[in-house]
Amino acid sequence: MTGGATRLTSQPSGARDAADAGPSNDPGSADRSADPSVLRKVMVAAGLGHFVEWFDFGIYGTLAVILAHHFFPSASPQAELLSTFAVFGAGFVMRPLGGLFFGSLGDRVGRQRTLAIVVLATSASTLAMGLLPTHATVGVLAPVLLVLCRLVQGFAAGGESAGATTLLAEYAPAHRRGFITSWIDASGFAAFVAGSGIVLLLTAALPGDAMDDWGWRLPFLLAAPLGIAGVYLRTRLEDSPEFRRLKSEGGQARSPLRESFATARKAMLLCTGFMLIKAVGHWALQTFMPGYLQTTLDFSRVQAFAITTAGLFVVAAAVPFMGALSDRYGRRPLLIAGCAGFVVVSWPAFWLLSVGDAPLAALAMIVLGLCIAAFDGAISAALAELFPTRVRYGAMAVSYNLATALFGGMTPYFATWLIGASGYDLSPAFYLIVIALVSGATVLRARETAPSRATS
């Protein structure tokens, strides 16, 4: 990217049908294709499916400390946790491959069918995790099986966020796209809240060592009923109006990924840059924090899960509000506010965490949560508006998951390693600051894509 601001929308070279130049910013045409009752049904199906996906994917991180004892026993708690976070990161290694596969499939055969397959694969692998034998039972085979399940999870997850965002963006009226697509991120954080909350309740309610012995399996086993519900709802949807129109005109890309790299490289680079702080912020709050609070800051397990749940709840509640603001004031102001927030408050928030007082720690988590909520309120619409319909799912999935794999998935491991290497308990704050600066610089080089208020 050179000289001056780069426009968020990326037009492919050559002639392109108007319906294929990105989600329409003409609210009239969008409103005609999105009956309110249909739109509500799509939001429920996409949101619940996304909830299932991230409940399944995130519960591993929430239970990292317990899983460490069962699958990576060691004399050192930090070594156990590092091993568990390494397997957590392994799931992210598969996400770009999943993005390549499911993104191309979604651009060729449709968003709805692809998203149903994604939920089914994730739920099956999560259920398998809840049934795995432990190291005490089968030795080294236990972590091997855990890694395999995690790899399948990661492969399937590579098709979820980009696909769900694409589906909602292509259904949404232009002047409400920020609010409607923000429900994807809200449902993802609601899944994190549910996972953290369920673990908190089980930890508090189960007697003695029951949580360590067998209670940890219960959240994984919930994947079965949740997955059935998610697949059912998604298979009952019609595909998006934009994709159906493209298909009826024979305008689908024969090789979506090849076309993406040929015509949308600049947009894919922007997408990757935007995604860095989203990926790092998400997995720092959801996965790194519970273990950090317990092993580094000496909070009890119940306190750690309560603090984490409070922060995640605020994110889930605030994201739709931020999405509505992005429709009113534009995507860039919200994206910049989120990045600037991380730069300003990361170190003070980590210092508050280190004080050792649970209410102050919860306040610190809430402050960090508001930063990611501001960013997430605008990011889904901003990403969808980068790409034309022909390649939107695949191009977004590849760049989205590349950033998430390289940075998000390794955040818990790197942050834990950073503390050990530096001997400074607050060092993860500086990682958040650096990543926020990189994403912020990318946003500053991009122009606004939200339709002006004059057209809404």
Joined together, the tokens standing for residue 302 give 């119940």
Please indicate, yes or no, if residue 8 is contained in any of the structural domains: no
| Domain housing 372 | 27-446
Of 95-99, 250-254, 394-398, the poorest mean pLDDT is in: 250-254
Q: What is the pLDDT of residue 83?
A: 83
Please indicate, yes or no, if residue 14 is contained in any of the structural domains: no
Q: What is the pLDDT of residue 277?
A: 96
Rg, the chain, Cα only: 21
What is Dmax (Cα atoms) for the chain?
68
- Rounded Cα distance between 403 and 387, Å, is 17
Please indicate, yes or no, if residue 155 is contained in any of the structural domains: yes
Dihedral of CA atoms 64, 65, 66, 71 in degrees, nearest 10, equals 70
Quote the DSSP letter at residue 423: -
CA 136 centroid distance within chain: 33
- Amino acid (one-letter) located at 128: A
Can you tell me the mean pLDDT for 384-396? Answer: 92
Instruction: For 151-208, write each residue's pLDDT tens digit.
Output: 999 899 899 989 999 999 999 998 999 999 999 999 988 998 898 889 889 988 998 8
Q: What is the pLDDT of residue 336?
A: 97
Q: What is the pLDDT of residue 431?
A: 96
Q: Taking 70 as the threshold, does the pLDDT of residue 101 lie above it?
A: yes
Q: How confident is the model at residue 125 (pLDDT cuts 50, 70, 90)?
A: very high
Q: Where are the alpha helices (DSSP H) in 296-427?
A: 301-329, 331-354, 358-384, 392-403, 411-422
Please indicate, yes or no, if residue 454 is contained in any of the structural domains: no
Q: What is the pLDDT of residue 41?
A: 87
Q: Which residue has the higher pLDDT, 44 or 339?
A: 339
The closest of 134, 424, 407, 438 to 292, measured between CA atoms, is 424
Q: What is the pLDDT of residue 412?
A: 87
For residue 368, the domain's CATH number is: 1.20.1250.20
Instruction: For 322-372, write each residue's pLDDT tens digit.
Output: 999 999 999 999 999 999 999 999 999 999 999 989 999 999 999 999 999
The closest of 287, 284, 223 to 68, measured between CA atoms, is 287
Joined together, the tokens standing for residue 163 give 């696909």
- Rounded Cα distance between 105 and 118, Å, is 11
Joined together, the tokens standing for residue 101 give 């596969």
Determine phi and psi for 120, rounding to 5 degrees. -60, -45
Q: Taking 60 as the threshold, does the pLDDT of residue 454 lie above it?
A: no
The closest of 161, 171, 378, 384 to 267, measured between CA atoms, is 384
Q: Taking 50 as the threshold, does the pLDDT of residue 286 lie above it?
A: yes
Which whole-number Å values give the CA distances from 241 to 24, 42, 128, 323, 389, in the listed order? 11, 12, 36, 22, 11
Can you tell me the mean pLDDT for 292-318? Answer: 91
- Rounded Cα distance between 398 and 377, Å, is 21
Please indicate, yes or no, if residue 3 is contained in any of the structural domains: no
Can you tell me the mean pLDDT for 131-148? Answer: 92
pTM tops 0.85, yes or no? no
CB 413 within 8 A of CB 91: no
Q: Where are the alpha helices (DSSP H) in 172-240?
A: 177-205, 210, 217-221, 223-235
The closest of 331, 378, 409, 340 to 155, measured between CA atoms, is 409
Q: How confident is the model at residue 26 (pLDDT cuts 50, 70, 90)?
A: very low
- Rounded Cα distance between 227 and 159, Å, is 16
Q: What is the pLDDT of residue 65?
A: 80
The closest of 59, 68, 79 to 217, measured between CA atoms, is 59
Which residue is listed with tokens 């993104």?
103
Burial environment of residue 92 by CB neighbours within 10 A (0 to 12, 13 to 18, 19 or more): buried
Q: Which residue has the higher pLDDT, 67 or 21?
A: 67
Q: What is the secondary structure of 311-325 as a DSSP string?
A: HHHHHHHHHHHHHHH
Q: What is the pLDDT of residue 34?
A: 58
- Rounded Cα distance between 410 and 20, Å, is 36
Which residue is listed with tokens 């855990």?
146
- Rounded Cα distance between 300 and 389, Å, is 49
Average pLDDT of the chain?
A: 86
Q: What is the pLDDT of residue 452?
A: 65
3-class SS of residue 265 = helix
CA-based torsion, 307, 310, 316, 321: positive or negative:
negative
Q: How confident is the model at residue 395 (pLDDT cuts 50, 70, 90)?
A: very high
Instruction: For 403-423, write each residue's pLDDT tens digit.
Output: 998 898 889 889 999 999 999
- Amino acid (one-letter) located at 187: S
- Rounded Cα distance between 10 and 21, Å, is 8
Which residue is listed with tokens 């509640």?
317
Q: What is the pLDDT of residue 89?
A: 80
Instruction: Please give the tally of structural domains in the chain.
Output: 1
List beta partners, residue 6.
Answer: 446
Please indicate, yes or no, if residue 193 is contained in any of the structural domains: yes
- Rounded Cα distance between 264 and 13, Å, is 9
Please indicate, yes or no, if residue 416 is contained in any of the structural domains: yes
- Rounded Cα distance between 8 and 266, Å, is 9
Quote the DSSP letter at residue 18: G
Q: How confident is the model at residue 261 (pLDDT cuts 50, 70, 90)?
A: confident
Q: What is the pLDDT of residue 296?
A: 92
Q: What is the pLDDT of residue 90?
A: 81
Instruction: For 141-164, write each residue's pLDDT tens digit.
Output: 998 999 899 999 989 989 998 999
Q: In the chain, pLDDT over 70 holds for what percent of residues?
A: 91
Q: How confident is the model at residue 278 (pLDDT cuts 50, 70, 90)?
A: very high
Joined together, the tokens standing for residue 411 give 């955040």
CA-based torsion, 272, 277, 44, 151: positive or negative:
positive
CA 74 centroid distance within chain: 31
Please indicate, yes or no, if residue 4 is contained in any of the structural domains: no
Q: What is the secondary structure of 213-231 as a DSSP string?
A: IIITHHHHHTHHHHHHHHH
298 C-beta neighbours (distance < 10 Å), count: 10
